[in-house]
Structure 1
Amino acid sequence: MDQQRTSRRSFLTLAMATPLAATALTACGGSSGPGQAAEGEASIWFLTGEPKEAIRNQSVESFNESSETGQLAPVAYQNDAYKTKIRTSIGAGQAPTLIFSWGGGSVRDWAQAGQIEDLTSWIEENPDVRTRLFDAAWNPGIVDGAIYAVPHETVQPVFLYYNKRLFDQVGAQPPQTWDDLLALVPVFTEAGIAPISLAGQSRWTTMMWLEFLVLRIAGQDAYQAINDSAPDAWSDPAVLQALTAAQDLVRAGGFVEGYNSIVADQNADQALLYTDRAAMLLQGSWCFGSIKADGGDFVSGGNLGYQSFPVVTGGAGDPTSTVGNPAQYYSISANATDEQKEIARDYLANGVLTEEIAEAFINEGGEVPILKGVEDQLAAAEDGEFLSFVYDTAVNASFFGMSWDQALSPTAAQELLTNIEQLFGNPDGYTPQQFADAMNAATAQ
């Protein structure tokens, strides 16, 4: 397929991507313009990419079959196109009724600008909407104590995938420490294997390396200070140490040659792993479904390994801590009609994570829905070992760090990605201190 085939992380940053054509998913009237819907309909936008796109479509179709409030008209976009489309549509007052996001900085900006609905009182009147979902999933949708985005879909921690076949080939073990990982670089390089696959052109993939290094070296308080845009958070000496460690990995030749030209939307970073051209890949749980679908017998043959990010000796971070997506989120546009808002609330209460859809996420998507009480279903699934690993990683984490390009304001998040590209792409000409100065200035605005 030309479109991405993974329920990928898809961070909502404001990169200046060229919009791609939207793909209508169902023939239920369709939208009559950006953010618009026909009479009796509410519009909903989300992302392409199997297997998750099909499950989102299934959720909408099931809701439309039984809804007494009205119909949902869905449109799907590729990730980079969506980033641009949602930014321009919200700014023009033409947002869809239901706005898909990952919470954090974007939701905060929309809420403060009066562009999305305050859902607090509605949630209080319908407590089941909240109590049936993971408690920790709600935080990224809360602004100044008010709920502006309802979590849905799946929890998605980031961890280290590895190719067991290649580790066996060179007689190595998966890295338990950062020093172990650095020591593996020449081992794989001498064997003609890229140590680490990385879709560097997408930049958020590179960011995950930096997030984990900050979390392992500087600890959760320093990580959270960055998320909160605290003054001079990037100048913490331990954070500077993490920035230096990232550049050490680049200088050592840790990443596949030409990584800055590889795009995550095309799943090329995953392909390098399952075609035996790279030994490791730092990515989210969202990649499992596409690795399984596209990798032939790579998963079924027992060749895919996965583990938490290595510890850094002497670092302040708890080794159980992790980063990623606590959930995905829907907000309701403040510019929608009362009829559209009613349809949207009905969908959030009764259509988003039904038993049918939760089962689809588990058995078809290879992901863990943020629905309480699914442990037995996860263990019994075909991919139960992986799903239980994801679940345990999320629920047992001493700290689940929200990704920086979600937590920061969209403007600061864009500046973050620009500077990460410099930090990794020019390790001998762009210093950690320059990075810290640039980010302190960006988050202070």
Structure 2
Amino acid sequence: MNTSLFRKKLLQIIGVVLSISLLAGCGGQAAEDGAGADGKVTLTVWHNWTGQDAKAVSMRKQLEDFQANHPDIVLEAEGLPTDGLRTRLRTVAAADEMPDLFVMFPDAMTKEFVKGDLLQPINEELDKKPEWKNGFIPGALDGFTVDGNIYSVPMNLAPSSFIYYNKALFDQHGVKVPETWDELLTAVRTFNEKGVIPIALGNKTNWVAQSTTFSTIADRITGTDWFLKAVAQDGASFTDPQFIEALTKLQELGNAKAFQDGFNSIDETQMMQLYFQGKAAMVINGGWALANLVNNAPPEVLDNTHITIIPPIEGGKGEPATTSGVVGTGMGVSKKLTGARKEAAMELLYALSGPEGQQVTLNSSTLVSYDIALDESKAHPLFVELYNLMKNIKIVPVYDSKLSSAAVEVTNNGLQELLMGGDPKAIAQKIQDAQAGAVAQ
């Protein structure tokens, strides 16, 4: 080969390589800065707004509106059912591969992610907008605060335990709406005699019985202070007699045939369908179920549905006018975000949980942890009933917001076993061992 031609070819190759290197360097800088070559920022967003209830539809619409109003920001949104989202988040957390923004639960999950150095604090963003920060109800930010840093704000208020009941079925069969535990058992017995499911339950995904029913029953008996001490393993144990009594009370409902056959084989959606079809007199579910009722229940069921709480239990140490729950989920922001991507993430966080976002959520028949008034003339009557009920109801901790991940799983599985005839003392020991092990780490 001609030497000068060889040198010419070699210089061309070197030039191409250098050009590629320079382009790669520019691309790397852009990626680090957050914007792509087209100037657009891409954010991955994981959420649990997958249903057709008013809340889910409203939140998806907010994402769509944000995308339309911010053409320079591309949202790669993915919806997962709540239990699937929890599992997947903990899986990617273990691998340090978090999405950019994600629906996150307060208390235990937030603390675990902070401990894993996975979250971005948002103190600076809140301080920039004091009208936003100061609009939350007292204590609303506590579940997202760790060592003085705030990692999210609630987008809703999530009481997890109400009895939704079909007043027409109660009247038809001469049943009193229960105000005591004995009256609840009497209602269960009467509906069974009349061939009506007393309480629809769908515990296939195993969190339902714990979140909607057991957490409140347990607080009625043990009181909140005992539970928090047991969580901290500081002067209380899940093998204490009061906790075993709480397990026994839930089992008492199961033994009384309060729930339909096969309750561990259907999920929350199917559970609600039993109620919608008029086959069940009651369903115990969280405040989030109201948006589902308003959107999907037939008129003959919706128009006869009213709301109350699990009745007090005689001799219990807990307050009677309470429901288990949390202040609501928030959007977690990955710690890896910097530059333009971080700015875009904070814009989306504010759009979903700022004053306008909170108003949109309230308008979707969903309670919020924000100090804004409900226009009762525009709200569904059932939501007005829930909204006014909450004025006289205190929220106590739902178990899966305070227990460790390991203890939550053991508790959920244990309650499935309990309702199938399992030994309360043996189940209590498993929960104690799981929580003690987690605290010791």
Q: Flag whether TM exceeds 0.5 (same fold).
A: yes
Summarize the Cα distance change of 1:393–1:237 in structure 2 as closer, same or farther, 3 Å threshold: farther
Pairing of 1:77-226 with structure 2 (within 5 A)? 77-207=80-210, 208-226=212-230
Match of 2:284 in 1: 282
Shift in Å at residue 230 of structure 1? 4.3
Any idea what the Cα deviations from partners look like across 1:363-399, whole Å, max 9, x if unmatched? Answer: 4x32123331223x2x22231x43334334444334x
Any idea what the Cα deviations from partners look like across 1:88-144, whole Å, max 9, x if unmatched? Answer: 223323211112122121111110110111223443343333212223321211123
Give the aligned residue type for 2:258. Answer: G
Give the aligned residue type for 1:315. Answer: G
Matched, 1:269 2:271: yes
Query: Which of the residues 411, 419, 434 maps onto 1:416?
Result: 411
Match of 1:18 in 2: none
Any idea what the Cα deviations from partners look like across 1:229-260, whole Å, max 9, x if unmatched? Answer: 54643133222211111111111211111111
Query: Which of the residues 425, 435, 438 maps onto 1:433?
Result: 425
Give the aligned residue type for 2:423. Answer: T
Give the aligned residue type for 2:290. Answer: F
Distance of 1:336 and 1:123 partners within structure 2: 18
Q: Which runs of 5+ in 1 are unaligned?
A: 1-35
Distance of 1:106 and 1:171 partners within structure 2: 45
Q: Answer yes or no: is the 8 Å Cα contact 2:153–2:353 preserved in 1.
A: no
Give the aligned residue type for 2:296. Answer: D
Shift in Å at residue 67 of structure 1? 4.2
* SS of residue matched to 2:204: helix
Which aligned runs of 4 or more in structure 1 are off by greater than 6 angstroms?
none
Distance of 1:139 and 1:371 partners within structure 2: 14
Match of 2:27 in 1: none
Match of 2:379 in 1: 382
Q: Answer yes or no: is the 8 Å Cα contact 1:158–1:324 preserved in 2.
A: yes
More divergent stretch after superposition (333-342 vs 225-234):
225-234
Q: Answer yes or no: is the 8 Å Cα contact 2:166–2:301 preserved in 1.
A: no
Distance of 1:249 and 1:425 partners within structure 2: 11
Distance of 2:234 and 2:423 partners within structure 1: 21
Q: Answer yes or no: is the 8 Å Cα contact 1:247–1:423 preserved in 2.
A: yes
* SS of residue matched to 2:313: coil
Any idea what the Cα deviations from partners look like across 1:166-221, whole Å, max 9, x if unmatched? Answer: 11121111110111111122211111111111002122221132211111122221
Summarize the Cα distance change of 1:226–1:163 in structure 2 as closer, same or farther, 3 Å threshold: farther
* SS of residue matched to 1:43: strand
Give the aligned residue type for 1:397. Answer: I
Summarize the Cα distance change of 1:115–1:245 in structure 2 as closer, same or farther, 3 Å threshold: same
Query: Which of the residues 403, 423, 443 maps onto 2:435?
Result: 443
Shift in Å at residue 261 of structure 1? 0.9
Q: Answer yes or no: is the 8 Å Cα contact 1:292–1:298 preserved in 2.
A: no
Shift in Å at residue 85 of structure 1? 2.5
Match of 2:7 in 1: none
The structure that is helix-richer by fraction is: 2
More divergent stretch after superposition (302-311 vs 120-129):
120-129
Q: Answer yes or no: is the 8 Å Cα contact 1:89–1:95 preserved in 2.
A: yes
Matched, 1:402 2:401: no
Q: Answer yes or no: is the 8 Å Cα contact 2:359–2:372 preserved in 1.
A: no
Match of 2:369 in 1: 370
Distance of 1:245 and 1:153 partners within structure 2: 30
Shift in Å at residue 68 of structure 1? 8.9
Shift in Å at residue 354 of structure 1? 4.4
Match of 2:333 in 1: 332
Match of 2:15 in 1: none
* SS of residue matched to 1:244: helix
Identity %: 25
Summarize the Cα distance change of 1:345–1:227 in structure 2 as closer, same or farther, 3 Å threshold: farther
Q: Answer yes or no: is the 8 Å Cα contact 1:104–1:408 preserved in 2.
A: no
Distance of 1:116 and 1:150 partners within structure 2: 13
Distance of 1:230 and 1:389 partners within structure 2: 39
Q: Answer yes or no: is the 8 Å Cα contact 1:196–1:280 preserved in 2.
A: yes
Match of 1:345 in 2: 346
Any idea what the Cα deviations from partners look like across 1:276-326, whole Å, max 9, x if unmatched? Answer: 2111111011112222332221355x2112101111122222122211231
Match of 1:323 in 2: 324
Matched, 1:361 2:353: no
Match of 1:246 in 2: 250
* SS of residue matched to 2:141: helix
Summarize the Cα distance change of 1:153–1:71 in structure 2 as closer, same or farther, 3 Å threshold: farther
Give the aligned residue type for 1:272. Answer: L
Distance of 1:118 and 1:353 partners within structure 2: 16
Give the aligned residue type for 2:396. Answer: G
Q: TM-score when scaled to structure 1?
A: 0.82
* SS of residue matched to 2:282: strand
Task: Give the count of matched residue pairs.
Answer: 398
Summarize the Cα distance change of 1:329–1:416 in structure 2 as closer, same or farther, 3 Å threshold: same
Distance of 2:45 and 2:235 partners within structure 1: 37
Give the aligned residue type for 1:439. Answer: I
Query: Please, what is the CA RMSD of the aligned residues?
Result: 2.4
Distance of 1:341 and 1:109 partners within structure 2: 22
Q: Answer yes or no: is the 8 Å Cα contact 1:198–1:255 preserved in 2.
A: yes
Distance of 1:296 and 1:387 partners within structure 2: 16
Match of 1:40 in 2: 41
